[in-house]
Amino acid sequence: MDKKPTYQELEQRIARLEMELDRIEKGRITAFAGNGQLPTDIASSFLYALINNTQNVIYAKSTDGKFILVNRIFYEIFGFGAGQVIGKTPFDLYPGDIAAQHAENDRKVEQSKTALTFNEQAVASDGRHDYISVKFPILDDTGAVIAIGGMSTDITERVHMEEKLRDSEELFRLAFQTSPDAINLNRAKDGLYIDVNEGFTALTGYTREEAIGNTAIVKDIWENPADRKRLIEDLSTKGFVKSLEARFVRKSGEIAVGLLSARILRIKNEDVMLSITRDITELKQAEAEKEKYRNQAIQSQKLESIGTLAGGIAHDFNNLLMGIQGRASIMSIDLEAAHPCMEHVQAILEYTKSAADLTKQLLGVAQGGKYETAPIDVNEVVHSSATLFGRTKKEIRIHQKVCAPPPVVVADRRQIDQVLLNMFINAWQAMPRGGDIYLETSMVTLEAAHCNPYSIAPGRFARISITDTGIGMDEATRRQVFDPFFTTKEKGRGTGLGLASAYGIVKNHGGFINVYSEPGKGSTFSIYLPVTQEKAWSQDVPVPNLAGGSEKVLLVDDEQMILDVGTAMLKKLGYRVTCALGGRQAVGVASANAADYDLVILDMIMPDLNGEKVFDILRKIRPSLPILLSSGYSLNGQAAKIMKKGCNGFIQKPFNLFDLSSIVRKILDKGSDGIAGGRPANGLPT
């Protein structure tokens, strides 16, 4: 270990350093006042004080790299004692890579024999320090290098700040470029694009090269100029805009919806707008779709509620019509054709038929049951209904386009005919000066998202499209078009039940109807019905005749009026009749002597014990007992449920003597063994 120099030795070394510095500067240190030279001892003291009181690191090294002089700040910063530095090289003090750099810099100064500036590092107890070092050679009179002197300024904090700034700038650049939101910088005075990110190109479709330096697209990308006007006004008055929802025109012409926030910044004496826009196009589309489905669900619930009321009215009204029509049909059989009252009886029958048609529409609104279902050919139904309607409306041209193979659906043929007739009438009324109706059938597959608002199962559907060239509808009318009792006709000119009943019938068949219309551009109604793999049935139209018998019939109903008229009609046909007022009385009668009866005519809706429960009890008492279900309204599909259990037939109220005669005779002729899969013995499907 080197011997620690004495104070006198240090002063001698400083004196020698002073002499060498004087030679480099080609002059001597002079007094601040006067031109006389300072004595050497004074000069040495002055230089010593100067070196030790400066805040810069000052050192001198011999040509072999050993420290021969360091000042006080050197010791303070690096925490070394004098004996730990003097006579040592950087390799003794610093890590190898740092020491090697010091040695290389010393070599360059020695070779060049001129002062050079370097960025160097040194190691202290608190970590690495960065320096700007000015190294200059100390020469003798011949110019030979005696030692290498140096002065360093600690720039550690500045270097760290610069590094943080560079990191911050890099972080901002990455955040700017990779942000999913559209970010753009524009010159405030004219909107010229200074810079845009990847999010901007994704939102607008313009590349970065197309946008930067461009002012033309500033206005082009705004669909609504009022949105841009609001942006400019808010920026000029408040200096910022927050969450402005606006629609933008992409380069492709498509519309995007964005949520924009912007602020005015002052950069290099110029106002700049920083704008950040979040693309909410998909969100708005999803919200619109959700609102659409919500409205459809509300519409469906509204129709269901009104339908429940309409069904109750229709049920009671049908019972009244049953009494009127039954009595009138008996009178028509008893009276001679030339009887003066015959004309009035026939008129009563016609009026009750019209009233029954009205209740059918109410039942359609109520979604009250498919009374006689079978696999039917959709193309054939559309063709026959259109042909029949076209014969009466010569001012309407009907065009048909059907798909192959024809779709087959399980439906009540008469009700589907009624739906199509209501649609044709609606189209005809929308074309007061005549026009065209375009009919088209097709097969489509609907996913759950499309079916859920209508509460139906997804799958394959037959679509019947009815398009007219009429006056069309505005949005307010379109939303109400299926509402019961809604009509655009003047007061007293329409019931408002046509489209409502069509909607209810289709809904009860597991389908739905939607409509597209614009004022002046006509309307398109699309009916969707679930398809079946069964083959379509061909049905023969029965020829009305009276066929009676002498069998014993148990007539069950909770309305005395229905029992009275039903008894009269059955006795007119020759049958023996026993009446039961309500379900409990029917069970009591059947329990006592079920074997005595050849047929039970059972009402569906009864308050004490409904038709389904009575049916189940009767079948337990006597499994082979033929049962004919009768109702003016089937609540929640109960009639169809009973038919599937093996009921022998169904007859809808109000019915006349001919209807009753036909179905009773056919069930009795076949007996309970004549039924297969719930289809009645008269050949009509359930």
Q: Which helix (H) or strand (E) holds 166?
A: helix 156-178
Q: Is the pLDDT of residue 21 over 60?
A: no
Separation CA 611–CA 638 (nearest Å): 9
pLDDT for residue 663 is more than 60: yes
Mean pLDDT, rounded, of the chain: 78
Average pLDDT on 33-59 reads: 63
Q: Report the C-alpha gap between 584 and 588 in whole angstroms.
A: 6
Strands 270-279 and 182-187: antiparallel
Is 570's pLDDT higher than 80?
yes
Tokens of 199: 């999010």
- Superfamily for domain range 7-156: PAS domain (3.30.450.20)
Q: Which two tokens stand for residue 658?
A: 């001919």
d(CA 254, CA 545): 68
- For 639-658, the pLDDT digits (tens) are 778 888 889 988 888 888 88
What was the pLDDT predicted at 29? 35
| Tens digit of each residue's pLDDT (9 = 90 or more) over 130-189 | 676 777 788 776 676 667 776 666 665 666 666 666 665 666 677 677 778 888 888 888
E strand residue ranges, 534-661: 552-557, 576-581, 599-603, 627-631, 649-652
- 3-class state of residue 621 by DSSP: helix
369-530, CATH topology level: Heat Shock Protein 90 (3.30.565)
Confidence of residue 637 (pLDDT cuts 50, 70, 90): low
Q: What superfamily does domain 552-674 belong to in CATH? A: Response regulator (3.40.50.2300)
Q: What is the pLDDT of residue 436?
A: 92
* pLDDT tens string 299-315: 666 656 666 666 666 66
Between 250 and 318, the higher pLDDT residue? 250
Position 678 confidence tier, pLDDT thresholds 50, 70, 90: very low
Q: What is the dihedral of CA 415, 420, 421, 422, to 10 degrees?
A: 90
Domain ranges of the chain: 7-156, 179-279, 369-530, 552-674
Which among 177, 214, 220, 180 is positioned nearest to 196, based on CA atoms?
177
Q: What are residue 196's DSSP bridge partners?
A: 184
DSSP 11-57: HHHHHHHHHHHHHHHTS--B-SSSSPBPPHHHHHHHHHHHHHHSSSE
Q: By the 8 A CB rule, do 598 and 626 touch? A: yes
pLDDT at residue 684, as a whole number? 30
Strand partners, 271: 266
User: What whole-number distance in Å separates Cα of residue 382 and Cα of residue 623?
Assistant: 41
410-447: b or e for each residue (b if 16 or more CB lie within 10 Å)?
Answer: bbbbebbbbbbbbbbebbbbbbeeebebbbbbeeeebe
* Domains 7-156 and 179-279 agree in fold: yes
User: What does the pLDDT read at residue 574?
Assistant: 92
Structure tokens at 221: 């990308």
Rg of the chain's alpha carbons, rounded to an integer? 52
CATH among 2.60.40.1180, 3.40.50.2300, 3.30.450.20, 1.10.287.1080 for 179-279: 3.30.450.20
Express each pLDDT in 199-243 by its tens digit.
Answer: 888 888 888 888 888 877 777 888 888 888 888 888 888 888 888
Q: pTM of the entire structure?
A: 0.41
* pLDDT attached to residue 530: 94
Q: In this model, does residue 386 exceed pLDDT 50?
A: yes
Identity of the highest mean pLDDT range in 68-82, 284-298, 414-428, 608-622: 608-622
| CA gap 678, 243 in Å, rounded | 64
